[in-house]
Chain A
């Protein structure tokens, strides 16, 4: 491959004059690092959420009384099953169990262990579990965060739940949920439905919600209306609504952050403009020399453009690589607290890399366009320096 004299000269000049550009590069790398880290975390979380949502049921029905969630009767299952187009109707019991009042808590989820779908899901998650042994005595699966937490409190293979009637219930810890479910399941406990009902003081006929699927999405609207007619105090949430809510939440939070970042970016543009407008005597002389020996204004502009593009490219690459390492190799210390909170149960969550190509494009545009706009007029001003004046 023939090397170009122009690029050879450009690289030599950049190397010799690296001191001139180092300030702009350092700030650029910092800004890109910050922005990329936030967007990488947000993207990873959003992707994990969406992936998890794939496995969620299409509809979840719960009950609201005086604006507060209330248990619903188990016989709603029969009524819902009778609706045309509805499949896999499954009850769930869940709630927050507080280890100490106003202290740490974990999510207890009770599912019907005899339901085919649930058995299949659990077998997929935990390959070696013996379900019969599991159901022989009160047992549970715990998330990694719960496991570590209980161990710190000297509960290594069982935990004593304090029940509403004042008695304790010893429940054995059979297995830990896999690491890759940590984002949602780290502080979760999975147990049989009846056990969860006992722990929360539900009767055997009460559950927290009922979930089901409606394969034909053209029927969703109709099913939602029918449920509203059947039960006056029902609350119906569809998977699509959850997905939209998450997207709105991420957009809202991300958008606010970006808006603030914009202010920082505009300030940086101003600094860049000022810096590159202050063309020192030596630089004016150098440009004058180049023009005197036969370089045209276009040639100088081309040199300046490539100079700036190199700074943009290198800063972007370094910033993005550093952000990738920070988020996906080091699990974003400090930043993770902003996104996930600071509960000890959340320490075992790690971010799964997910960087869509469009995100990189957005990052690049967000940085490169303001940078190049800021340096365009100063670059022109330098390029049109009359050669005679610059050489005096």
Chain B
């Protein structure tokens, strides 16, 4: 019998706020986090982006630094490290005393880490080694006093779900008692120019699964989840199954059939011992590119989940890359705790080959079993099941 894995704490930092509560409250009012930016430091064209409020980020970080490490200089942390620290600090409240042993681990998920250190203006940064993801993770881990060395996952857009899956499996196997998984990525010219070169960006805020979708919108942020063998929140939610697969088709385009994502979904549901009919909600990857959403609809169809409620949280805060899987899982868990289904922002008219039950209006209803899915460059797919017990 495998050990159960409980949700013990969480946080979201993005354009809509600095805690899960703050962010999800915005969703209840229908707000989204996009603004149009015309800033040559970010992009050579005007784009809708979902950015973290810098002023609030720095002031939150300064408070935490004052409380935990008044001896350290605030300028010795990068913008992304500050996002991670603000997110983890909030997720750890009430449970922090449990992380200081050799049975606790920090897992960092990021695609590009401190990539802004390559920019001209960052030449002065005191520690150039922080361009390495393991070094960045080490700084964050020692800031909070973890005694084990952090694990870093960097696997394109499934990084976050893969990090959660790895963590849940480690706790099930008895390797650790508590794992804090934090996913983060920031937006800089590096990433934005790359997606622009792919012609993958929408001129308006993205419209996942909609007939008029024109591509993805980028966002930045950080999400943190604490998984534990013992600790749990007031409402008990478990991470009960997960699977990863590869399309073996194309490095920058999704599978033509969706079979490989479907395979991951089927395995994750089987591992969780869940009946298909009991899947209440799917938090889709839903990037709003033509091909991703098409593929995802086929995969959900093949997996036999056409009637399950589906949304993409990316219509609210964009594609947050290595943070996406964690942030969207936290939002999924919040949906389960509050028994709320959130509309898929940007969706009006169905535009994918397999008809899905895309959520059109926020609704109060029992959300007991959820599925989080993700796909990314390199042909990777991930699926993870959360259950209320």
Do A and B pair up? The answer is: no
